[in-house]
């Protein structure tokens, strides 16, 4: 494996800053906010329906629209006027103005945005612009020098330098978190600006700061340019980004899960749920599987999986390495297109209360009528009617309306078999439970309490 040599701290970043200055732009946005609500609640204290009440309602309703302004940074990626910035810089803006280093201003058109990655592509009517050179963010190492150029607090062409503090940071901003962490000063207004390596190549898009005060505390984050590059290309070609997905819910493998599944280590992404009819479902991936590789490349943590899948085009056949029942196998999945964000709700069953067991559950037999109400695909099992807060089942994420149809690899036929099975487990045992949740497969681990008393 080739490793790039270390770069000593340069005597100055002045040459880099001068060479890149014309490629970094200031972005200002205007959003028109129209008041259509009338008088604020409780304003004035006049009796409802009085002439004064009507007057002030009309006054506030007819107030002129207000303007909201925001500032950010961008960088030129082509001589014909394409500019990259953050989605949150231009989101819902009615007007976007790009200001060049020479002071000239251009109204920009938003070609497309990607809210999941927080990237936007703009276009201005200009030619022969100086574009940045795109680098390879995968070659960055912790400790490498980086330089940020932007417009913090509206102060144009501000240059800051620091090192790569960490890579692969997950900060909870979205499904594709894989941030470069840097101590180069990043402040409000830097958003959308470029992060350069010492060769003057863009390796990231500055996008977030971690600070209670809103100012730089030595922790800033940038989107790796390798992650953003394909999204920018799609925005330029189609105006939107089409991503691939498997159709599974995932989580990291914790110590307890690794022990329960007999895993050698905690690498991979646990699949607690498989969406009914999804690409993963059609390919035979099951809840309880652990995904450990994609096309032969290892998956160490769950957050790596959606990033790797998103690099594919819907319809691509992808080889997914999984561990199931302690055995490794490979499944080929024709990945599907990521749908728009949706809200899914599971139907809840109705019926008479059955026996209460020590897991903190009330269950009843699954009947064809209840299966239809729940849209369950299984034909047998125990339907969860109640979940007691704070008990093992609740801690495992089991919900009302779930159908328990397998425990530790054995089928649950009905409530009687369910009761019989759990009565044989010792305190602190971990149960591997398969559920049907609205037709989706769901995997859960239930750890029994230390003292298995009657509940």
Annotated binding site: 88, 118, 189-191
Annotated binding site for substrate: 88, 118, 189-191
211 is catalytic: no
- Nearest residue to 248 via CA among 350, 331, 162: 331
303 is catalytic: no
| Catalytic residue of the set 165, 191, 278, 293 | 191
| Catalytic residue of the set 28, 114, 118, 165 | 118
380 is catalytic: no
Annotated catalytic residues are 88, 118, 191
């Amino acid at each position: 494996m080739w490793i790039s040599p270390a770069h000593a701290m340069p005597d100055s970043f002045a040459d880099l800053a001068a060479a890149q200055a014309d490629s970094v732009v200031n972005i200002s946005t205007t959003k028109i906010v129209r008041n259509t609500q009338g008088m604020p609640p409780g304003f004035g204290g006049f009796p409802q329906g009085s002439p004064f009440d009507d007057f002030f309602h009309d006054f506030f309703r007819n107030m002129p629209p207000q303007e909201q302004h925001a500032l950010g940074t961008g960088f030129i990626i082509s001589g014909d006027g394409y500019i990259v910035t953050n989605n949150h810089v231009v989101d819902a803006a009615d007007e976007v103005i790009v200001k060049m280093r020479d002071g000239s201003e251009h109204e920009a058109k938003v070609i497309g945005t990607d809210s999941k990655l927080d990237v936007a592509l703009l276009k201005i009517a200009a030619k022969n612009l100086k574009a940045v050179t795109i680098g390879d963010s995968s070659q960055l190492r912790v400790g490498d020098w980086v330089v940020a150029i932007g417009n913090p607090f509206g102060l144009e062409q501000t240059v800051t330098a620091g090192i790569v503090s960490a890579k692969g940071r997950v900060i909870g901003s979205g499904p594709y978190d894989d941030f470069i962490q840097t101590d180069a000063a990043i402040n409000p207004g830097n958003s959308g600006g470029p992060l350069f390596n010492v060769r003057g190549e863009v390796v990231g898009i500055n996008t977030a700061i971690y600070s209670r005060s809103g100012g730089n505390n030595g922790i800033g984050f940038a989107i790796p340019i390798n992650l953003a590059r394909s999204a920018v290309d799609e925005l330029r070609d189609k105006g939107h980004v089409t991503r691939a997905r498997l159709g599974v819910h995932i989580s990291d493998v914790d110590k307890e899960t690794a022990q329960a599944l007999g895993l050698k280590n905690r690498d991979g992404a646990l699949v607690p749920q498989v969406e009914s009819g999804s690409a993963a479902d059609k390919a035979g991936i099951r809840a309880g599987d652990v995904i450990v590789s994609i096309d032969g490349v290892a998956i160490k943590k769950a957050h790596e999986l959606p990033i790797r899948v998103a690099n594919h085009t819907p319809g691509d056949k992808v080889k997914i390495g999984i561990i199931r029942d302690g055995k490794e196998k490979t499944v080929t999945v024709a990945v599907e297109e990521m749908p728009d964000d949706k809200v899914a709700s599971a139907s809840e069953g109705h019926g008479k209360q059955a026996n209460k067991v020590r897991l903190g559950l009330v269950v009843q037999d699954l009947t064809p009528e209840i299966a239809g109400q729940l849209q369950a695909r299984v034909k047998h099992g125990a339907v969860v009617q109640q979940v007691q807060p704070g008990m093992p089942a609740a801690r495992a994420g089991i919900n009302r309306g779930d159908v328990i149809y397998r425990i530790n690899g054995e089928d649950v036929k009905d409530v009687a078999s369910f009761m019989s099975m759990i009565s044989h487990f010792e305190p602190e045992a971990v149960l591997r439970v398969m559920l049907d949740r609205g037709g989706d497969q769901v995997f859960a681990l239930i750890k029994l309490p230390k003292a298995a008393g009657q509940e």
